[in-house]
Structures are given as C-alpha cells and as structure tokens.
Amino acid sequence: MESPVFEEFDPAADCDCPGCAHWRRVLPHSAAGRFPGHPAARRTAAVVAALTTAAIIAPAVPAVAAPHARHPADPGVPAGDGPGTPQGKMAPLHGPGGQAAPPASPARAPLISRADIIERARSWVAQRVPYSVRSYWSDGYRQDCSGYVSMAWKLPGNEWTGSLGKYAERITKDELQPGDMLLFHNASDPHNGSHVVLFGGWTNSARTHYVAYEQTRPHTRRATTPYAYWSNSARYVPYRYLGVTDGTAGGGSGPATDAVPARTPFPGVAYFGPGAHNRYVAELGRMLVRRGAGRFFAAPPGPRWTDAHRRATRAFQEAQGWRGAAADGLPGPLTWELLVTGTGRNIPNGASASTMPGLPAGHSPSLPAGHSSGLPAGHSPGLPAGSPGGASGPSSHGVPGYPGRASFRPGAVNDHVTRLGRQLVKKGFGRYYTTGPGPRWSEADRRNVEAFQRAQGWRGGAADGCPGPETWRRLFS
C-alpha cells in the first residue's frame, strides 16, 4: 500500500516571524546553504512522520499530495542579500489593489532634473503619505524610506538601502545639492538603524543643518535636520543619483534638451537682510525680476540688500498664497527653491507688497500646509533651526514686541540684547553671565537662551540659543 506523500511548505519571502527573520540573517553563513523552512513547516514535518508511522499499522486511507508552494526570488537580490530591516525588500512597482506590476527592465538610471526630484518628494509631503513597509502608494512605490527615494528619483522599481547605491555615486558633504541622498546602510545588521533621506538644501551658512525630505513614522515629512542625521550621524554617506541632469552628477549624459542649468543651493539666511552685501543678494534680485518683480527696483538689483529686495521677495511670497510671518520679505529655503527651479506662481501685475504694513528684519517664510518643519511653533524652517524671526511690533498682553533676528546676530549691540539678558536672569537662566548682561550679543547670551529653550523641552536645532518669536513670547509671558 502506497504511503501518503507530504511536502514541506516554504514560507513567504517576507514572512516576519522570529524564525524566518533569524534564518534570513544567518543563511549566507549556513553550512547547509538552504532555508530550513518556517517553524510551522517543521511542525508539519513532525506530524507527517507520525502519520507515516501510523499508516504502517492502520488501514490505508486515500491521500492527496499537497502542492509544493515556492516563491520566486526577489529580482536583482542575490540569495541571502535581502534586507532584514524595517523596510520592504526590492520589489516592482505596484498597481491598484497592491498588485505587483510586471518586472522592470534591467537596472538603469532614468534621467530626471533636480527640480523634478524635489517636486516629487514634496508631493508625498503634501499628501502626508503614511509610513508602511508593506503598503504601496497610488504611484506604485512602497511607503518606507527607500521606497520614497525610489519614487523621488523615478526609479523603475522599489529599492532598499542595500541596493540604492547602484543608482548613485558617492560624493562629499561639500558637493551636496538638492536631490542627493544621505544613506546609512548597516550592512552587518540591516535591521539596526538603516535609513535614507533626501537632501533639500542647507539652512545655514555653517552647513550644520539642512532640509531633509524623508519617509518616517507617522508620515512623510520635510524637516530641518542636523547634519548628517539625528542619530548615527557619522555613518551616513552622501550620494548623487546617476541620472540627474543638472549639477555635477556623473550620469547626466543624455541629450542637451534634457539638461537644465546648474542651480545655486540656498546659502543660508545670514546672507540676506539689512546690511547684507554679497553675490547671493544680487542673484536673488535677478530671479525676482524674472518672476515679475522688476517694478520694485529703480535700478538693476545689485549685491547690497535694500528695501526693494524685501518688498519684491514679499510680493513673491504673497503670490504663493502665504500671509503674515510666512511672507515677511526674507527668503528661506522654500522661497529660494521656488525661485531657482522656476516653480510656484509669478508675481501678478499690480501686486504691491508696500500695501501691507512694513516689517523690519524678520524670519524666513514658514511652510504652507503639509510641510512640516519639525520645530516648535514660531521657529521658522527658513532659518538655522531656532533662529529669531518675526516682526517687531507693539506690546501684546504684556509681552514686548519681538524685535527681529537682526537684533541677535554675532556682533549686535542694542537695547534688545540687554532686555533679553535681564529677563533671562529674572527667569533663572543667567548662570553663564560673568558680568552684565549688557547690550552686546555674546556667547553667554546664547548659552543662557539655549538653557531656557531646553527647559521648554526642545532639542536639537530647536534649542540652538538663538531666540525666535516663540522663545521671546515664552520668556516674557
């Protein structure tokens, strides 16, 4: 009598039970060289053995052989190289209902401009795409960090941190431009910390903070981030996409019609405002004139900051629908990004920023809805995190009007610094003063402000010692 035939079931390739996760990590070092199977399958094997023994002493019972369920290997991933990380494995794009599309053609780097990369990255920020390692958004890309970069670069499939590098070349920190990526792939233990973000531009001249576009819990975000990242900073490596068609990328070899001129990354807020005199001010003026701000300048815009620059910048910001502190006439990373990429709305004919109440030096524009800065209220993402901003104004509810960022720059000497210092002492945050406080901005002022900001529960760039409007409000309330 023929014994029943049973076969072991292989687990799904993305099974996340402890046993499967363990064998995915040790498989390359396994002497047997094969996946031992799902724990449940091994239990099934034991049952098979028992049934076979029983079949010897019991009457024969007809049995049907179970089909042998095998899953195709991940495309492009050598055996044992799949990610054991909280991100999805390499996969094709997915269509409606999460169905996988036909496999993509062999690895290539589709051409795309930096402006398009940032525009695609911003689209997920605006939609607040929720984080998931198993779900795919309507455009077919997986909703985790590597799927997000795959989407922004318009790759033919969903990559992971262990495979994104084949589409890019390694660069230095000084070479970073918007659209490049900062990648941390923990090869020895991919499950522990691997992550990737898109670089969106520097937020200060010291290049200590930048705008990061990233897919993380709970949803896609755009945030001012310390270089290279909040954790494992030394292990993040900058890369440039091989298919970028502008800048100094190594893969922009397509026809000339695909290329766009190299664009100047945002230099930082310190380059703009009263007293500024540099080439970035001149470039800002030229870009504004091209967007309809010519009537604000009596002469061609030059390198010295003038009220015409402020009014023209403000008119451009208002054309985007921004109001209040978000349209204060000082360019932040988002204003600069729209100008250099030629995106956003032009200044309409007849628009005049002078019809609005005048604002002295203030902070850079805050972001429209859907763009998260990651900073406390009142700290604009257009500044080095926590930098002062907002306009001065009359006292409100006993709080003196915030005087603006220019009052607290290195070398500043004014009564606002004295008032700030005295209030810090009054609140119990004057430990770093050896004399004073006085009217000259000093490192002691900065450290005392930082201590106050940390007492509010702020960390990172939100507690950098530069008083913003929210720091000012809390200090004097």
Give pLDDT tens digits for 15-41: 666 666 666 555 544 444 444 444 444
| Residue whose structure tokens are 């930098």 | 387
**Predicted pLDDT of residue 11:** 55
Q: Taking a C-beta distance cutoff of 8 angstroms, is the pair 220, 148 a contact?
A: yes
At 306, list the tokens. Answer: 């003038």
Peptide bond into 437 cis (omega under 30): yes
Higher pLDDT, 152 or 255: 152
Once rounded to an integer, what is the mean pLDDT over residues 243-247? 75
Give the pLDDT band of residue 1 (cuts 50, 70, 90): low
Task: State the chain's mean pLDDT as an integer.
Answer: 74
The CA dihedral of 323, 325, 327, 333, to the nearest 10 degrees, is -130
Q: Which helix (H) or strand (E) holds 238?
A: strand 237-241
Which residues, including other chains, have CB under 8 Å from residue 139's CB and lie 6 or more apart? 93, 151
Higher pLDDT, 276 or 76: 276
What angle in degrees, to the nearest 10, is found between the helix axes of 145-152 and 114-127?
A: 130
**Predicted pLDDT of residue 459:** 80
**Longest pairwise C-alpha distance within the chain:** 105
The letter for the amino acid at 474 is R
Once rounded to an integer, what is the mean pLDDT over residues 399-410? 82
209 forms beta bridges with 226
Give the pLDDT band of residue 401 (cuts 50, 70, 90): confident
Q: What is the percentage of the chain residues whose pLDDT exceeds 90?
A: 37
Is 70 exceeded by the pLDDT of residue 386?
no
**Predicted pLDDT of residue 96:** 52
290-327: b (≥16 Cβ within 10 Å) or e: ebbbebbbeeebeeebbebbbbbbbbbbbbbebeebbb
Is 90 exceeded by the pLDDT of residue 87?
no
Higher pLDDT, 56 or 73: 56
**Predicted pLDDT of residue 376:** 38
**Predicted pLDDT of residue 177:** 92
Q: Which of 65-69, 308-312, 314-318, 330-334 has the lowest mean pLDDT?
A: 65-69
Q: Which helix (H) or strand (E) holds 199?
A: strand 195-202
Q: Taking a C-beta distance cutoff of 8 angstroms, is the pair 178, 120 a contact?
A: no
Is 60 exceeded by the pLDDT of residue 441?
yes
Give the pLDDT band of residue 334 (cuts 50, 70, 90): confident
Highest mean pLDDT: which range of 69-83, 160-174, 385-399: 160-174
At 374, list the tokens. Answer: 């990651």
**Predicted pLDDT of residue 350:** 67
Length of the chain: 477
Is 80 exceeded by the pLDDT of residue 54?
no
Rg over alpha carbons for the chain, rounded to the nearest Å, is: 29
Is 80 exceeded by the pLDDT of residue 362?
no
Once rounded to an integer, what is the mean pLDDT over residues 170-198? 89
Q: Taking a C-beta distance cutoff of 8 angstroms, is the pair 149, 156 a contact?
A: no
Once rounded to an integer, what is the mean pLDDT over residues 379-397? 41
**Predicted pLDDT of residue 406:** 79
**Predicted pLDDT of residue 128:** 92
Give the pLDDT band of residue 228 (cuts 50, 70, 90): very high
Is 80 exceeded by the pLDDT of residue 320?
yes
Higher pLDDT, 136 or 28: 136
Higher pLDDT, 73 or 313: 313
Q: Is 248 left (phi over 0), alpha (psi -120 to 50) or beta?
A: alpha
| Residue whose structure tokens are 């190289």 | 81
Is 50 exceeded by the pLDDT of residue 463?
yes
Q: Taking a C-beta distance cutoff of 8 angstroms, is the pair 381, 375 a contact?
A: yes
Is 60 exceeded by the pLDDT of residue 252?
no
Q: Which of 79-83, 181-185, 230-234, 400-404 has the lowest mean pLDDT?
A: 79-83
Give the pLDDT band of residue 102 (cuts 50, 70, 90): low
Q: Taking a C-beta distance cutoff of 8 angstroms, is the pair 293, 353 a contact?
A: no
**Predicted pLDDT of residue 412:** 85
Give the pLDDT band of residue 325 (cuts 50, 70, 90): confident
What's this model's pTM, rounded to 2 decimal places? 0.40
**Predicted pLDDT of residue 199:** 96
Which 3 state secondary structure label does DSSP give 425?
A: helix
Could you report the per-residue pLDDT of 257-303, keeping only the tens digit for each? 333 345 688 888 888 988 889 999 999 999 999 999 999 998 889 99
